[in-house]
Amino acid sequence: MKDNRKIILEKVSPFKWRIPRIDKMRVEGIIYANDTLIESVKRDDAHIQVANVAYLPGIQMYSLAMPDIHYGYGFPIGGVAATDLGNGVISPGGVGYDINCGVRVLRTSINYREISAYIGKIISEMYNNIPCGVGSQGKLRLDKQELRNVMKNGAKWAIDNGFGWDEDLRFIEENGRMGGADPDAVSERAYERGKRQLGTLGAGNHFLEIQVVDEIFDKEAAEIMGIEKGNITVMIHTGSRGFGHQVCSDYVHLLQSSMRKYKIQLPDNELASVPINSPEGKRYFSAMKSAANFAWANREIIQHWVRKSFSTVMGASPESLGMHLIYDVAHNIAKIEVHNINGKNKKVCVHRKGATRAFPPGHPDIPEKYRKIGQPVLIPGDMGTYSYILVGTEKAMEETFGSTCHGAGRVLSRHKALKITANRSVQNEMKKKGIIVKAKSIRTLREEVPDAYKDIDEVIDTVEHAGISRKIIRLKPIGVIKG
């Protein structure tokens, strides 16, 4: 059906755009972008999805989008929406198919000069230890009961089974476990897909990256995080694998059919939603939490093998190499949080899809170690450019439900990326930049070519100038594993 709505973008500041209410939109739309980035938003119609989200029953304040926004399933990737717990809805499209896709970063006490000759060996060792690629299966073989324990306990299950350190839990969002997960809300198909995928990286934009601390913008904050210029960090980007994908797929179908029951009409059927407190809403939320916990266990196990790989090549223990977790944060998740809505504190369901939590200094939900500076925000670039560590701000709490960007954001589809790289060796291009790349598939490298992504520096400058996060550290890739 032809969309006859006239969706307008009004510039309200150099880094912020407004979509006025039309038709049955319940709130306005807000997109954080500069003049260059907004053009890519228009080209792929992501702003239309921002407007569509504004139709959700119970949506609060605004339908929001970050500067790395691009077109997604129902919600745009880079979208944020908070809904009222009383009359609002929950939507799988507002979380995404890769439930709790997220990022964790380890620091080390290793200087680049000490390790430069070993990067290739470490990349090979990690590649051998951590399965990657489409449908990859890990070293663990879990029966149904053990997988249920993973769903309930998340990263703690991994640590209890020898895959991590107790201190890690303090530096994971939700301490690596969301309460209220219900394994009975998960289908048999999801169990089958998940039972051999713990400790695997997957494919697509997921990666392991060895980085060097290239620039420090706030020395005090970097010191609190234990980061020094010239030292090595490791970034892990992955989620809940086929397990989470199946959970989302199951509930998209269920909720699409349930919408009629609750008389919910939306401009896009991909926004399938039901009341949060309905039986279907509660069941989805419990299944989503199960997948979120699976993802935290997955990243914890991968981190264990990263530590082991460094230890094997360097001939030293992970402890002596200073391989401590800085932070782990989700960027595809729904959470019940307290936010100030029209001058009153209120519990709402915050959907973040391709958006990162960015809580400010002093917030009780961030580790005590970081309360002076704000929550660490981990933002990967593409494999040929910088990544960043930011911190959250008060302005983010006021304007975006404590949210910011999650990465560079695609500007080319995978099909177009393959087309422009038909006669190129992406691996050699990276080598010329001083980046060792190892991948399960050459196709993945071509799909993930840096040309396919927005300029990460523009994205970071936008969120910083908009005041919704603050730049602390820049990280340069020197070794990358892709699926």
Strand partners, 378: 389
Q: What is the DSSP string of 162-209?
A: TSS-GGGGGGBGGGG--TT--GGGS-HHHHHHHTTTTT---STT-EEE
Answer yes or no: are the C-beta atoms of 64 and 396 closer than 8 Å. no
Assigned token pair, 147: 């997988």
Catalytic-residue membership of 70: no
Letter for the amino acid at 273? S
- Alpha helix (H) ranges present in 15-172? 35-43, 46-53, 112-115, 119-129, 144-153, 155-160
Residues in the chain: 483
- Among the listed residues 245, 363, 406, 465, the single catalytic one is 406
Tokens standing for 276? Answer: 């949060």
> What's the CA gap between 143 and 148, in Å, rounded?
9
- Determine contact, residues 376/327, Cβ cutoff 8 Å: yes
The answer for residues whose C-beta is within 8 angstroms of residue 85's C-beta and 6 or more apart is 276, 277, 336, 347, 348, 349
Distance CA 2, CA 75 (A): 19
> Can you name the residues that pair with 105 across neighbouring β-strands?
235, 327
Give the residue among 231, 202, 198 at the shortest CA–CA distance from 305. 198
Q: How many CB atoms lie within 10 A of CB 179?
A: 9
CA angle 162, 308, 427 (to 5 degrees): 130
Active site residues: 406
